[in-house]
């Protein structure tokens, strides 16, 4: 396959923002892709070289790409710089320069695989002389490219492929190509395989090789490849939790720390890897867990999941979550932090034990397996749990969890179908946290999409932020509220600095907003917010039309809790689905409170009665 086939596709995609059209264009394109081209194609489509969890960074510095372009086009570096600052995109400048100077694209067409290999070499060059190597390789590649190809090559190498295709759209397109008469069913199977491997390239090339959806069912969880985490729903009371779980559930402590998925290989001395909730490799940050895990398990290879929590080394008591953030992202002084912020790993699930794919077993069997394979030690412990079938028992366990420094409980279904649902949020797990009277039952994680400059003593920094939730269906970020409370001056200062290079001139396409902030910000940073309630809003776009035509939902009296969700990417922020569900819970609660007071609804709330969420895990 030619590299130009990919860039032609990008050109066509750039003429539309409609997801269905993009999917159709993509499906048409993927039909013709061979097995060997498929994985590179799928990575490049997303502006990547490897699955995201491998952390292979394509990006080279702007200055380096400018040098390569100057050398390939024959223009001076000053000219390249001036043109790029005019166009705002070095890719566009590359295309224009090469076109006007008639320099490029003379020879044989570039093959997709060759370009892919070359981009990998450029990305991986390191050490002494690597900058020159990168410039040299990139400029040679640009010399062979057509102007349009050059545009994308430059964007790839800068890590700024503006129109990378979202993974959900690639999954949709694969379902169209390989789903025959039943693309919906195929979509579920394909997404299932992706959730277990986290590698779209592997999923797509398996399909290209076999043409058979069944082959995906044979893709296995493997040590070294993170599994997308199973997620829980919420309920407003322990009574509701037990009802939902058909009267009986396991309650586990809900530890307030950092979720880690630990991969322990079978070979002695092979490295243990720890992945965060967003599948980043964070092994280097917790050397003591890495050291202790192999000895703490009786079976290998293994994949276990748990929460890493700061503890007081003398009393063993749990410490506030915030302390752990001092260790995140750290490259130096790790030993000092190992001592200053000691952590303990509370394991709550097992997904692979020896050769057995435990994730398809029901939860009670997984837990039993977990208890059998974990040898308790100083750093590795089992999550405390109890099986309950009465509300008072559940209440007592919940209170005990709070007393022991946890933020609540996770209820886990004991039903036959309670397998580990990678990447899915459902009622097989229900989180229940401490209730805050007169407040929304839970926090929301919102993405910053814009900012308003502060006044008075906040002048020169952001005074308030515009934040959104994620609409996973539409792949958009509709706004939820404007928030200016809960930030101290130092935090605002540091957020202003941190977000400076995420500022963009106009509203990012995926952000839906009727408000225009002073600056728009590319959605990346996730903040935890608390608020009084969710209300219908003619201004905010979250869940637009879901409760009432023409209205979105907004968070009323929002405030920042002080927690930046570094473990979440924009697409792991709270979703419109969650907001709708929280809204429904709130309406139901208000109705229950009113009826228990024996009065009529004082003010008819401005909404249609909400449908209660479906019963029974699904």
Q: Residue of minimal CB distance from ligand ATP? A: 259
Q: Which of 254, 412, 433, 568 is catalytic?
A: 254
348 lines the binding site for ligand ATP (CB under 6 A): yes
Proportion of the chain in helix, strand, coil states, percent, rounded to 5: 40, 20, 40
Nearest to 380 by CA among 315, 303, 290: 290
Q: Find out whether 53 and 281 touch, Cβ atoms under 8 Å.
A: yes
| Closest approach of ligand ATP to the CB of residue 254, in Å | 4
Applying CB under 6 A, which of residues 19, 99, 160, 259 lies at the interface with ligand ATP? Answer: 259
The three-state (H, E, C) secondary structure of 496-508, written as one string: HHHHHHHEECCCC
Residue closer to ligand ATP, measured from CB, 113 or 168: 168
- Largest alpha-carbon pair distance within the chain? 83
Q: Phi, psi (5° rounding) for residue 292?
A: -80, -25
Residue closer to ligand ATP, measured from CB, 167 or 307: 307
What six digits make up the tokens of 187?
A: 């979509």
Residue closer to ligand ATP, measured from CB, 4 or 534: 534
Residue closer to ligand ATP, measured from CB, 3 or 560: 560
Stretch of 35-43, 60-68, 249-257, 373-381 contacting ligand ATP, by CB under 6 A: 249-257
231 lines the binding site for ligand ATP (CB under 6 A): yes
| Closest approach of ligand ATP to the CB of residue 409, in Å | 8
Residue closer to ligand ATP, measured from CB, 103 or 431: 431
Q: What is the C-alpha separation between 454 and 466, in angstroms, rounded?
A: 13
470 lines the binding site for ligand ATP (CB under 6 A): no
Matching residue, tokens 């997404």: 191
Q: What is the C-alpha separation between 257 and 286, in angstroms, rounded?
A: 13
**SS3 (DSSP) at 81:** helix
Applying CB under 6 A, which of residues 118, 252, 292, 471 lies at the interface with ligand ATP? Answer: 252
Stretch 359-398: interaction string toward ligand ATP, x if CB under 6 A = ------------------------x---------------
**SS3 (DSSP) at 479:** strand
What six digits make up the tokens of 460?
A: 């020169």
- DSSP letter at 134? H
235 lines the binding site for ligand ATP (CB under 6 A): no
Matching residue, tokens 């001592």: 339
| Closest approach of ligand ATP to the CB of residue 413, in Å | 12
Nearest to 207 by CA among 176, 186, 178: 178
Residue closer to ligand ATP, measured from CB, 30 or 388: 388
Stretch 307-326: interaction string toward ligand ATP, x if CB under 6 A = x-------------------
Q: If you write DSSP's letter for every residue of 187-238 in order, what string do you get?
A: HHHHHHHHHHH--HHHHHHHHHHH--THHHHT----TTSPPPPPEEEE-SSH
Stretch of 70-78, 129-137, 209-217, 251-259 contacting ligand ATP, by CB under 6 A: 251-259
431 lines the binding site for ligand ATP (CB under 6 A): yes
| Closest approach of ligand ATP to the CB of residue 181, in Å | 35
Applying CB under 6 A, which of residues 445, 478, 530, 576 lies at the interface with ligand ATP? Answer: 445
Stretch of 163-171, 250-258, 363-371, 583-591 contacting ligand ATP, by CB under 6 A: 250-258
Give the angle subtended at the CA of 28 by the CAs of 22 and 30, to the nearest 5°: 95
Applying CB under 6 A, which of residues 29, 254, 379, 541 lies at the interface with ligand ATP? Answer: 254
Stretch of 41-49, 247-255, 288-296, 581-589 contacting ligand ATP, by CB under 6 A: 247-255
Residue closer to ligand ATP, measured from CB, 292 or 407: 407
| Closest approach of ligand ATP to the CB of residue 566, in Å | 11
Matching residue, tokens 């500022």: 503
140 is catalytic: no
What six digits make up the tokens of 533?
A: 């309630």
Give the angle subtended at the CA of 271 by the CAs of 266 and 273, to the nearest 5°: 100
280 lines the binding site for ligand ATP (CB under 6 A): no
Q: What is the C-alpha separation between 433 and 439, in angstroms, rounded?
A: 12
255 lines the binding site for ligand ATP (CB under 6 A): yes
Applying CB under 6 A, which of residues 42, 153, 410, 440 lies at the interface with ligand ATP? Answer: 410
Strands (E) across 205-355 are located at: 231-234, 249-254, 258-264, 273-275, 302-310, 343-353
Q: Which residues are part of the catalytic machinery?
A: 254
Q: Which residues are at the interface with ligand ATP (CB under 6 A)?
A: 231-232, 252-255, 259, 277, 307, 348, 383, 410, 431, 445
């Amino acid at each position: 396959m030619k590299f130009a086939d990919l860039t032609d596709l990008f050109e066509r995609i750039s003429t539309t923002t409609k997801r269905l059209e993009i999917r159709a264009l993509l499906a048409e394109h993927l039909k013709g892709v061979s097995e060997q081209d498929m994985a590179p194609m799928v990575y490049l489509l997303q502006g990547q070289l490897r699955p995201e969890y491998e952390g292979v960074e394509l990006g080279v510095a702007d200055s380096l790409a400018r040098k390569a372009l100057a050398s390939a086009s024959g223009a001076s570096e000053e000219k390249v710089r001036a043109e790029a600052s005019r166009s705002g995109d070095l890719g566009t400048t590359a295309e224009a320069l090469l076109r006007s100077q008639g320099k490029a694209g003379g020879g044989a067409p570039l093959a997709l695989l060759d370009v892919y290999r070359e981009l990998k070499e450029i990305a991986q060059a390191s050490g002494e002389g690597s900058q020159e190597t990168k410039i040299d390789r990139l400029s040679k590649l640009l010399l062979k490219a057509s102007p349009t190809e050059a545009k994308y090559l430059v964007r790839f190498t800068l890590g700024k492929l503006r129109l990378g295709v979202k993974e959900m759209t690639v999954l949709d397109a694969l379902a169209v190509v390989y789903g025959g008469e039943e693309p919906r069913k195929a979509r579920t199977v394909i997404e299932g395989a992706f959730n277990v491997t986290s590698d779209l390239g592997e999923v797509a090339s398996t399909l290209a090789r076999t043409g058979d959806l069944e082959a995906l069912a044979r893709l296995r969880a493997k040590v070294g490849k993170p599994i997308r985490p199973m997620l829980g729903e919420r309920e407003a009371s322990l009574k509701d939790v037990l009802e939902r779980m058909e009267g009986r559930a396991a309650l586990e402590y809900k530890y307030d720390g950092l979720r880690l998925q630990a991969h322990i290989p079978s070979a002695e001395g092979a490295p243990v890897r720890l992945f965060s909730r967003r599948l980043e490799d964070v092994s280097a940050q917790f050397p003591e867990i890495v050291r202790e895990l192999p000895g703490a398990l009786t079976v290998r290879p293994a994949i276990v999941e748990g929460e890493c929590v700061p503890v007081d080394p003398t009393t063993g008591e749990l410490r506030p979550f915030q302390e752990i953030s001092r260790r995140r992202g750290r490259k130096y002084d790790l030993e000092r932090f190992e001592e200053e912020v000691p952590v303990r790993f509370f394991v709550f699930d097992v997904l692979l034990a020896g050769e057995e794919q435990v994730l398809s077993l029901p939860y009670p069997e997984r837990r039993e397996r977990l208890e059998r394979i974990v040898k308790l030690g100083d750093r590795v412990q089992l999550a405390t749990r109890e099986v309950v079938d009465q509300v008072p028992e559940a209440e007592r366990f919940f209170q005990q969890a709070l007393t022991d420094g946890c933020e609540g409980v996770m209820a886990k279904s004991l039903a036959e179908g309670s397998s580990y649902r990678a990447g899915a949020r459902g009622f097989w797990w229900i989180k229940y946290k401490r209730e805050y009277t007169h407040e929304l039952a839970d926090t929301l994680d919102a993405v910053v999409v814009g900012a308003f400059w502060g006044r008075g003593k906040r002048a020169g920094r952001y005074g308030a932020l515009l934040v959104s939730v994620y609409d996973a269906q539409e792949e958009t970020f509709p706004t939820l509220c404007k928030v200016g409370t809960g930030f101290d001056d130092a935090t605002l200062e540091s957020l202003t600095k941190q977000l400076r290079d995420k500022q963009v001139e106009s509203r990012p396409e995926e952000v839906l907003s009727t408000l225009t902030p002073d600056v728009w910000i590319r959605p990346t940073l996730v903040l935890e917010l608390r608020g009084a309630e969710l209300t219908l809003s003619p201004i905010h776009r979250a869940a637009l039309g879901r409760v009432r035509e023409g209205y979105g939902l907004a968070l009323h009296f929002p405030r920042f809790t002080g927690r930046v969700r570094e473990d979440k990417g924009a697409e792991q922020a709270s979703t419109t689905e969650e907001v709708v569900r929280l809204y429904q819970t709130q309406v139901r609660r208000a109705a229950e409170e009113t009826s228990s007071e024996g009065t009529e609804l004082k003010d008819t709330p401005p909404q249609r009665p909400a449908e209660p969420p479906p019963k029974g895990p699904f």
